[in-house]
Amino acid sequence: MRDREKARQKAKELVAQMTLEERASQLRYDAPAIPRLGVPTYNWWNEALHGVARAGVATSFPQAIAMAAAFDEELLKTVGDAVATEGRAKYNEYSRHDDRDIYKGLTFWSPNVNIFRDPRWGRGHETYGEDPYLTSRLGVAYVEGLQGSQDDEYMKTAACAKHFAVHSGPEGVRHEFDAKASKKDMYETYLPAFKNLVQKAHVKEVMCAYNRFEGEPCCGSNRLLMQILRDEWGYKEIVVSDCWAISDFYNKGAHETDPDKQHASAKAVLSGTDVECGDSYASLPEAVKEGLIDEKQIDISLKRLMKARFELGEMDEPSQVSWAQIPYSVVDSKEHRELALRMARESLVLLQNNQSLLPLNKNLKVAVVGPNANDSVMQWGNYNGFPSHTITLLEGI
């Protein structure tokens, strides 16, 4: 296991030197630099659902629901490792040019281990399907691939289990919806994957969901984040909010459980949400002045965040970090493209082959019709990188 105590001590010493305003600023997803303490800018938001996303050319692997159809844990772990390798290579190159913008960090908000129960849910293709057991096994494999060897001093990248919890639609009202599930359904369906990612894969981040659970917004749910996640499962790492989920606490037409930013931010931090994707946490200094939260409570979250940054080697000299030596040439490499092709082939599921239609007879005439017949963009999926070349359905056939 990694030397977590060393990182924890360095985080403790660093946090002790920060002002209240500096502490609050580091709980934002777009944490600014603190030059006097040698803390560089860091943006926590990056995506790697099926390849490094939104940051230029990258190897594009099949969508998560397709990779799940391969039923192959080791292959998915290999994919996760390849994605992390490209993520590190990109980060290394960007850092050399002091480019620390969004989608260029080492904290990937993947995988999505929600359970795909309703085919009408628009984000079901991001998941590993409807089976809690399969989702658990594949989620663990992908996290282990992304985060790298547990024996290395530094993490390769940090993965994130999302969206915690009971987040499987309806998409249109997710900012106001109150999800209610029986205890049996919670512990047999919605929670097993998250528990396994926490206890077996040692996932570095958990993302709380937009919806409410039993009346409370998930990012302010003491039941979910404190009683279940931290107390029952022993989770000691980072909870990150879904983007602008904290503003749903007080925005009109959303959950409206809190009167303003200060109350919402204090509630979220006290419930265990350490870093916010949004802008509400800027009000934390005011919340302290109003007596809604103690500065020591902010420190608890901040120490977790700084510990993670030290564990990633993000604030150390690159020469000390083995992963920092990964060259940019691995991005969209021949080896990774071949791995993506192998994964795509393994994902194919043949339900029936009536009259031996497959393999196609080359003497047959085949019509390829419809708006997606020769469209490459639709094949990229979402939370995607940009492949250097896409073979369309027409071209492939």
- Is 279 annotated as catalytic? no
Three-state secondary-structure class, residue 42 = strand
Distance CA 278, CA 267 (A): 15
Residue of 81, 242, 248, 258 marked active site: 242
Pair of tokens at residue 46: 């990056």
CA distance 120 to 189: 18
By the 8 A CB rule, do 106 and 314 touch? yes
| Close Cβ partners of 53 (under 8 Å, ≥ 6 residues apart) | 46, 47, 103, 383, 384, 385
Which residues in the chain belong to E strands, given as ranges?
A: 30-31, 42-43, 160-164, 178-179, 205-208, 212-213, 216-217, 238-241
DSSP 349-387: -----GGG--SPPTTS-----STTTT-SGGGG-SS--B-
How far CA 167 is from CA of 125, 131, 139, 337, 344, in Å, comes to 14, 15, 16, 33, 27
Q: Where do runs of H (alpha helix) occur along 125-276?
A: 132-147, 183-185, 192-199, 261-270
Q: Measured between alpha carbons, how far apart are the two ends of the chain, in Å?
A: 48
What does each C-alpha distance from 131 to 68, 140, 246 come to in angstroms?
A: 10, 14, 30
- Residues annotated as catalytic are 242
